[in-house]
Amino acid sequence: MCAQAASVVRKTLEANVNEDSDISDCQRDVVAFLACAGWEGRQAEAVHRIDTHGAHVFIGAHDVYKIKRAVRYPYMDFSSLAKRRAACAREVEINAPHAPAVYKGLVAITREADGRLALNGAGEPVEWAVHMARFAEEDVLVNRVVQTALTGDEAKALADAVVASHGAAQVVVEPPERAAIASIAHDVLAALPGFFGGTDGDVLGLTDALSLRLSTLAPLFKQRARAGSVRRCHGDLHLGNVVFIGGAPMLFDALEFDEALATVDVLYDLAFLLMDLDHRGHRAAANAVFNRYIWRRQDDTDLEGLAALPVFLALRAAIRAMVGAQRAASTDEGLAEARAYLKRALSYLDEGRPHLVVTAGLSGSGKSTLAAALAPMLGRAPGAVHVRSDLERKALFGAGDLERLPDAAYGADVTVRVYARLLAKSEAALRAGHSVVADAVHAHPSERAEMAALAQRAGARFVAFWLEAPRHVLLQRVGARKNDASDATPQVVERQMSYDLGELEWTRLDASGTPEETLCTAMSHLHASTGPP
């Protein structure tokens, strides 16, 4: 296996081998010390030790200490005390800002005058450790999603955490060659036959599809690097490295041992999280995280970059497939799961004509609810871009999604700008091959005509819905709204009821029932108009 692919696999594959693992002679006393109860004068209930390829982790009742193993691999060198200290310090440095409730700092393990070991004692340091707070395993996202789906608020908070992480990440305009997506893909494709066989149909299909995409996308990768989209990211952003503490998601265990491996396109970093959610049956959550991320960043290069998202997702799934195959080779289990990841990687590269679906109607008709429900079902993973006029209006004024705008923000001149933005973002995503759900009132015939023209111009499958409900239903829904981006009031609905809508050629949907009923009707029309989405 090549070095790059091997490092990715070994970083992700953490074998819980405990007492059977080899311990370097220079660390034997330290391991014995941390494995016993009584840290810092407290009696711990128990200490659980986990050994990975690069660390010994000691989990107590309240605290966790992690030391780097005294090992040297082609991709990781912790062979000296100085190198282990530097690695521990780097781990704290890159993780603490995003998980302050988890990372407590760098701790010296010292040899005291009486020969005993101590944590941060007065003696000479003989080892260094990352000090962390213990958290409940059920709060780790990979375990949470087994029990229940993410709520809408949790998905938003997760996306916001990733946006903050990427916003603070160092831009690398000229990343090292081995950090380039083409290099990562080359290493992964070179390694796959060793896991699944050189004549495996899925491996060959993935190799052909990825090679073609990489060649086509090469200029885009370079353009995104020049635009600042390549950064020193988390590098290992899967569900097992996100924990909810006090209701807030925290990203932890970022890749610390290889700067090049963590210097990637921000969308490639995000893709691991999206793929992991999608593979575990949570595409709706993946779509919610994805759309929140796109809206919060307000970076048009992200929309253009969606052309590369299938490659990013496929690579993340292929790496997971290798990890699964590695486990299966050592434990005789998990080969079916590895094969499922491989097939998923291939599915992400399926070509398909994008959809442009418009949900329109007066305030309270349920167009945003329908748009959010349709988005995960449309187009390629993780579903369509949901472009919402309410959110674009907030973005124009630099406001948060729940921040109420003044009446002046709803003048005719501002509305023209909002619809122009809606069209521009929709077109950028469609040009990148990604489906779009455009969500706005569309009361004027010219607004509806522009959407239809966009679909024709972009070669997209076009379906437009006009949602209708009785006046009393619209008023009741708007009056009952809480925590929503729309600023519409019952008075706004009354004003809209007097609009001259002109000729309505779009499909009329009775939206007076439940959101589920409206979705079912819309899906029937979609299926009849364009085939399965």
Domain membership flag for residue 1: no
Same domain, yes or no, for 362 and 337? Answer: no
Number of domains in the chain: 3
Q: What is the mean pLDDT of residues 352-380?
A: 97
- pLDDT at 506 exceeding the cut of 80: yes
Query: CA 505, CA 25: separation in Å to the nearest integer?
Result: 78
CA distances from residue 279 to 151, 341, 379, 468, 508 in whole angstroms, order as listed: 18, 8, 16, 36, 35
The confidence band for 2, taking pLDDT boundaries of 50, 70 and 90, is very low
Q: Residue 330: exposed, middle, or buried by beta-carbon count in 10 A (0-12, 13-18, 19+)?
A: exposed
Residues 234-266: pLDDT tens digits?
Answer: 999 999 999 999 999 999 999 988 888 899 999
Same domain, yes or no, for 324 and 420? Answer: no
Which tops the pLDDT comparison, 160 or 8? Answer: 160
End-to-end CA distance of the chain: 39
Contact 276, 145 (CB under 8 A): no
Contact 132, 103 (CB under 8 A): yes
Same domain, yes or no, for 397 and 382? Answer: yes
Domain membership flag for residue 223: yes
* Number of Cα atoms under 13 Å in the Cβ half of residue 223: 12
Same domain, yes or no, for 364 and 493? Answer: yes
CA distances from residue 267 to 92, 164, 231, 271, 303 in whole angstroms, order as listed: 24, 14, 10, 6, 10
Same domain, yes or no, for 363 and 427? Answer: yes
Same domain, yes or no, for 274 and 192? Answer: yes
The confidence band for 10, taking pLDDT boundaries of 50, 70 and 90, is very low
Same domain, yes or no, for 299 and 216? Answer: yes
Same domain, yes or no, for 80 and 112? Answer: yes
Q: What is the DSSP string of 166-200?
A: HHHSPB-SS--GGGSHHHHHHHHHHHHHHHH-TT-
pLDDT at position 532, please?
65
Domain final position from 327, 347, 367 = 347
Same domain, yes or no, for 391 and 286? Answer: no
Domain membership flag for residue 3: no
Domain membership flag for residue 461: yes
Query: CA 484, CA 372: separation in Å to the nearest integer?
Result: 13
Q: What is the mean pLDDT of residues 68-94?
A: 92
Domain membership flag for residue 2: no
How many CB atoms are located within 10 Å of the residue 475 CB?
A: 19
> Identity (one letter) of the amino acid at 79?
S
Domain final position from 347, 364, 395 = 347
Q: Residue 215: give its domain's CATH number.
A: 3.90.1200.10
- pLDDT at 271 exceeding the cut of 80: yes
Same domain, yes or no, for 105 and 189? Answer: no
Domain membership flag for residue 264: yes
Same domain, yes or no, for 513 and 425? Answer: yes
Helices 181-196 + 335-347 axis angle, to 10? 140
- pLDDT at 43 exceeding the cut of 70: no
What range does the domain containing 507 cover?
355-530
Sign of torsion over alpha carbons 432, 435, 438, 439: negative
Same domain, yes or no, for 209 and 233? Answer: yes
Give the three-class secondary structure for 248. strand
Which residue carries 């700067």 as its tokens?
259
Domain final position from 347, 380, 401 = 347
Read off φ and ψ for residue 107, nearest 5 degrees: -125, 135
How much of the chain is in helix, strand and coil states, percent to nearest 5?
55, 15, 30
